[in-house]
Chains A and B, each alone.
Chain A
Amino acid sequence: MGDNQKQNYLTHPKGLMSWLLTLDHKRIGLMYLVSGVIFFLIGGLIALGMRLELAAPGNDFISNETYNNMYTLHGAIMIFLFIIPAIPGALGNILLPLMLGAKDVAFPRLNLASFYLYSLGAVFAVYTIISGGVDTGWTFYTPYSTQSTSNVIPMTIGVFIIGFSSILTGLNFIATVHKMRIPGLTWYKLPLFVWALYGTSLVQITATPVIAITMVLLMLERFLGIGIFDPALGGDPVLYQHFFWFYSHPAVYIMILPAFGIISEIIPVHSRKKIWGYKFIAYSTLSIAFIGFLVWGHHMFTSGQSVFSQIVFSFITYFVGIPTGVKIFSWILTMYKGQVSFTPPMLYALSFLFLFTIGGLTGIFLGAVALDIHLHDSYFVVAHFHYVMQGGTIVAFLGGLHHWWPKSFGKMYNHTIANICAVGVFLGFNGTFFPQFLLGLRGMPRRYATYDSQFVELHSYSSFWSGILGLSIFFAFINLVWSLRKSNTDDPGTNPWGAMTLEWTHTTSPPHPHNFEKDPILEHGPYDYDKVIVEPTYKK
């Protein structure tokens, strides 16, 4: 550790105010990380509560009302308070300037403002939970949401405010990528995580205003009785679905693109191999971000759209599938003739490839209109999006956390425990969600507090494994946090994995408060494992 420890962003400057008013992107990222993970654990506990209830048919522990509140909060917390803001906010904030060789993001004050907007939105969400919850589903479908007596208003205000945080972060990242790169760091020399954040940011600033407007219209309808979505007032509920999914489908790419970026970093580093198809991955990120805007109608295959719209939306949906498929093959081929180490980040990345492939392939089933009619709003859909969101995004997030943890904190965690937890997450996840595909095929509808006894076997199986999944995630976090104890002297050094990007090669672990002690000079590309040998500073 030595002298590095004396001057790093964690310990310098000191004091509570130096954190609350910090303009340092790393500290802001860390605050996102802590709040995001807390919400993730809350959302996860709620999910475990639901699985416990669903272990057997009938209302065993909780009433229908409580169940409806729980599934709404689970979805809203995971999506609006964890995945969307916290992954770009945490890993994006900590890493983007470091990867570009910059001292900070383009607008540090705006960055802090984003965090406080997120916090304010979170306060509204927490108020919603404390004051009795909300029971509309995270989708707030009208006219139920205009008629429900639960706390729809504070939750939608929360979503509205968090939307602004998302927009400002996106804006900041785009400006940072354009303006803050060091000389010589051209677009094709950017780490793919930067490309992914760039694509994410584009979607954030273009799609998020639509959800903000939709939430305002919903509030106007509830407050003033203006008929927009509620037929009783002269509105149209399907219009709401169009507005909602016009944001929420692109939002899926806000959630998954950063995960693609993380995987594009982990696999080459831990395979010590140049990434396969750099340009393809970079451009497919942008094209997926664009096509993502044109497929929202596939969420509405049973709402009575015209036959023509159904066909068009089905057609475009497949255009997202193909570049995504080629990406998966690129990541796999990256290992060809490399030197693969089965480190915890790599295990998460391999687990991602397995789970996300299932998530993607099951999307093909849902894109075929005739088949979707049967599967729509069934457990098949629940399983599909959990394979994408949890098996994809959250597994990649856990991988990224293990990958950059030694950089962020200057401490190495216990690899054996981390590997066991990674395997536990993989097994627990499949055990929980694979049976749900079968439930959906057999006709089990989603958002049911109780169910018919014909479904009991698969449901109890799913509930059992969800316990394993929950424990594995919990211990994965404990293992990480435990590594921060003072007595842990396992020093990862500046570059434990022998990576090529600037955050590893040119700064200490944890980084200096101003990122780099002197201006970094670019010596090689992000994946030049065929040209330069960078020795890892950590040997197990």
Chain B
Amino acid sequence: MDTLREYFFPKQVSTFAADIDNLFFFIFYSSVVLFAIVVFGMIYLSVKYRLKKDDDIKLTSSKDHSNILEALFFIIPLILVSITFVWGIKSYLKMVIVPDDAIEIKVTGQSWFWTFDYPDGGSTLNELVVPSNTPIKIVLSSKDVLHSFFIPVMRSKMDALPNRYNVMWFDAAQEGVYDIFCTEYCGTGHSQMGAKVVVMKPEQYRTWASELGADDESIPLDELGAKLYTKKACNTCHTLDGTALVGPSYLQTSQMWGKERIFDDGSSTIIDDNYIRSSILEPQTQIVAGYQGVMPTYQGLLNDRELDALIAFLKSLEVDSEI
């Protein structure tokens, strides 16, 4: 049973995961039995009563009902689905009733990354950090279209809506780094809108939370830029190796430094620090020819030093293109 569970499901990390997997296996084994009856009945009857080569065609039985069989077909599935229904609801209630002492983390979906705001200030992008053995309440919303926040190991999922908050919660029993997926279709970058949840020991989490937002002051700008490049999800749409994804590659922009860039309305500008700054803060005003204007604004998501850092990082790529 355990090997089958490991084959079917991702790890059980949340406290209610085991219950949900058990519900699955209850339905699974009931279904296997019912399915076996169907397939056996089908093969047995069709083979036993097959018309053989030299059989004559004759009148066949007029039997077309059996009260006992029909009652059984009705009652047995009824019992099974009743158990399933009640179990499904009981487990569901565990999933929706959030414990009072839960830590509340605000999760915002935006095409195509996740922002996490922590109760003691500070925020992260595409990396949710939570303490283990502590209930975590996730308050979800979206800045644009629908998204859905799915953590397979927690067996938990909820849509992020642009006009109201949705709530989900989990309590992770095991430290580790696990996948987060977006499961509501949200456009071009939908399949890249992944994130990670990092579950750490509570004491480790406290240290981490207190340092959040305070770092990054001392390291050189281009190194900070390299960190931000992944941390702020720039890498979802922009590569460093010259291939074009949703947006132009950083490497290409870096190699064109000081040269002219053409926009989709026919206008153009010289690539310089100010151009990069405005294309991060106001991406919709100038759209590079051949691309779609789908980048969200990073206004408010990056401070001045972080902007400087990203620009420095981008400039460093041309010289240092093995990154």
Contacts and interface: CB of A to CB of B under 8 A. Distances in A.
A322 B73 CA distance: 9
B226 to A, nearest CB: 23
A370 B145 contact: no
Interface in B183-211: 183-192, 194
Contact of B60 (A274, A332, A445): A274
Contacts of A353: 38, 42
A362 B186 CA distance: 26
B108 to A, nearest CB: 14
Nearest to A324: B77
B89 A144 contact: no
Interface in B1-47: 7-10, 16, 19-20, 23-24, 27-28, 31, 34-35, 38-39, 41-42, 45-47
Contacts, number: 273
A131 interface: no
A144 B50 CA distance: 55
Contacts of A232: 162
A144 B187 contact: yes
Contacts of B156: 373-374
A197 B169 CA distance: 46
A61 interface: no
A342 B191 contact: no
A302 B19 CA distance: 19
Given A68-B187, A141-B146, A358-B35, A339 B95 contact: no
A533 B59 contact: yes
B45 A332 contact: yes
Interface string A496-533: 00100000000000000000000000000000011111
A68 B66 CA distance: 51
Contact of A326 (B50, B70, B85, B246): B70
Given A274-B64, A358-B35, A304 B158 contact: yes
Contacts of A147: 144-145
B150 A445 contact: yes
Interface in B82-130: 84-85, 87-96
A371 B27 contact: yes
Nearest to B52: A339
Contacts of B23: 368, 370-371
A231 B237 CA distance: 26
Contacts of B8: 438, 441-442
Contact of A340 (B31, B46, B63, B179): B46
Nearest to A346: B46
A143 B179 CA distance: 26
Given A149-B292, A336-B63, A370-B95, A357 B35 contact: yes
A337 to B, nearest CB: 4
A433 to B, nearest CB: 15
A365 B24 contact: yes
A377 interface: yes
Contacts of B188: 64-65, 68, 135
Contacts of B20: 370-371, 373-374
A447 to B, nearest CB: 4
B164 A530 contact: no
Contacts of B94: 370
A329 interface: yes
Nearest to B166: A304
A364 B157 contact: no
Interface in A63-87: 64-65, 68
Contact of B9 (A342, A373, A442): A442
A415 interface: no
B69 interface: yes
The interface size bin for chain A is 35 or more
A110 interface: no
Contacts of A449: 190-191
B84 A368 contact: yes
Nearest to A280: B70
B161 interface: yes
A445 B145 contact: no
Given A302-B159, A364-B27, A272 B42 contact: no
A318 B64 contact: no
A302 B146 contact: no
B84 A143 contact: no
A390 B203 CA distance: 53
B95 A443 contact: no
A68 B20 CA distance: 32
A357 B186 CA distance: 33
B55 interface: yes
Given A231-B163, A450-B192, A339 B144 contact: no
Contact of B38 (A137, A271, A357, A378): A357
A337 B161 contact: no
Interface string A330-346: 00111111111110000
Contacts of A325: 34, 73, 77
Contacts of B166: 303-304
Contacts of B77: 321-322, 325
A364 to B, nearest CB: 6
A275 interface: yes
Nearest to B74: A326
A278 B65 CA distance: 9
Nearest to B39: A354
21 contacts: A64-B192, A141-B146, A276-B65, A280-B70, A302-B148, A304-B159, A315-B85, A321-B81, A326-B73, A333-B69, A336-B45, A337-B49, A338-B60, A340-B49, A340-B51, A370-B23, A370-B94, A373-B158, A441-B24, A445-B191, A533-B58
Q: Give the 5 A-B residue pairs with the shortest CB-CB distance, closest first.
A: A443-B152, A368-B88, A370-B91, A530-B62, A231-B163
Interface of A: 64-65, 68, 135-137, 141, 143-144, 147-149, 231-232, 236-238, 271-278, 280, 302-304, 307, 310-311, 314-315, 318, 321-322, 325-326, 328-329, 332-342, 350, 353-354, 357-358, 361-362, 364-365, 367-374, 376-378, 438, 441-443, 445-452, 498, 529-533, 535-536
